[in-house]
Amino acid sequence: MTQIIEHDTLVKLSQERPLVFRAQAATVLARVPRRFRRDARVLNHSKRTMHDMLTAWRDECLPRLETITSAHNATMLQQALREDLLAETSSQQQLIAMMIPVRLEEERLAFAGSQFASKREKKPYQRTLAFARQPIDVCRQQVEDFMRYELYRAVLSEVVGVTVVDKRAQGLVRCWQRLRAGRQVKKLRREVTRRLAAIEREMVAIEQERGGLAARLFGLNIDYVTVLAARQEYEKALGRLSKKAAESPAKRLALYEKKTEAIREEYLDTVPGVANLSEAQRAVKEIDSVLLAIFDLDATARNELMSTFKRYRMLTRERDMLRAKLEV
């Protein structure tokens, strides 16, 4: 399940931030040398693949090897040496140090034999034994590198239009990869840059409409539907007032402040760096200038603002998505 999630995450990364994915993939591929890949091809033509062997080593053999290497701290072993072999305290660690390499070799031979028959599958057996005889930390790192290598190769086989330069590939293959990857990146930059310019022009035009009301509304991160609901409540409350009260600017302003109080409070809670009353007042003036402008619009203008606001929000998201594609 974890590998499936990571696979899907990498596919998404290749689509949303292709240059970042390319760099990551190139690094991962470079960590697996040609020799290891040749060994993988040998094993992959046998009954067990390199993936199978490495998984078995990690899950079955590694815990046993770690137990053996930690024998220096095994109190029961030290007690057995002292009581059964009459070993002095000073010589116990020396005896354990002599036993550990012997037991490690036995485990490595047993592991290689459990994967392949030494006579009928000589080459896979030799490759497996050579791998297992390396230091544990080296083996552990090679397992991790190869698993990620396979994962990235699987993603690269699925993703269209993403060629990665493999530093471990043959010279002619690298030249072809470099040429093709260069063309792909150049095309990506050209298309994204062209679209970003078009988006910028359209956003500038929106920012000049109605004093940039749609852009200001988006910048304040206010829910336009909530604002419209507050205005509707304002209109209902205004209709319940007497004619004289409804015509009073003071009454209308007080009613506006009452119906938009929750919006202003929620906005102020999200504004960073409001340390004193003067800063809070400036923030309130900023949101009030937008809210009052919306409240003064007629129904047709409010509907047009809704369409413009949605368009501006969509353009902003597309712009951010395209910029992410150019991130390195």
For the segment 313-326, what is each residue's pLDDT rounded down to a tens digit? Answer: 999 999 999 999 99
- Find the mean pLDDT for residues 242-266: 85
For the segment 1-30, what is each residue's pLDDT rounded down to a tens digit? Answer: 677 889 999 999 999 999 999 999 999 999
pLDDT reported for residue 81: 52
Say if pTM beats, i.e. exceeds, 0.95.
no
Q: How far apart are CA 249 and CA 134, in angstroms?
A: 86
pLDDT reported for residue 92: 54
Instruction: Write the burial class of residue 203 (CB in 10 Å: 0-12 exposed, 13-18 middle, 19+ buried).
Output: middle
Q: How far apart are CA 120 and CA 116, in angstroms?
A: 8
For the segment 153-207, what is each residue's pLDDT rounded down to a tens digit? Answer: 999 999 988 999 999 999 999 999 999 999 999 999 999 999 999 999 999 999 9
Phi-psi region of 212 (alpha: psi -120 to 50; beta: other; left: phi over 0): left
Half-sphere exposure of 125 toward its Cβ, with a 13 Å CA cutoff?
Answer: 11
For the segment 49-102, what is each residue's pLDDT rounded down to a tens digit? Answer: 999 999 999 999 999 998 888 765 555 555 655 544 445 555 555 665 677 788
Q: How far apart are CA 186 and CA 198, in angstroms?
A: 19
Q: How far apart are CA 253 and CA 231, in angstroms?
A: 12
Q: How far apart are CA 132 and CA 48, in angstroms?
A: 16
Does position 277 have pLDDT exceeding 90, yes or no? Answer: no
* Closest to 163 (Cα-Cα) out of 176, 181, 189: 181
Helices (H), the chain: 2-16, 18-30, 34-44, 50-56, 62-69, 75-84, 89-115, 122-132, 136-158, 171-207, 213-219, 224-239, 243-246, 249-259, 261-270, 277-295, 299-325
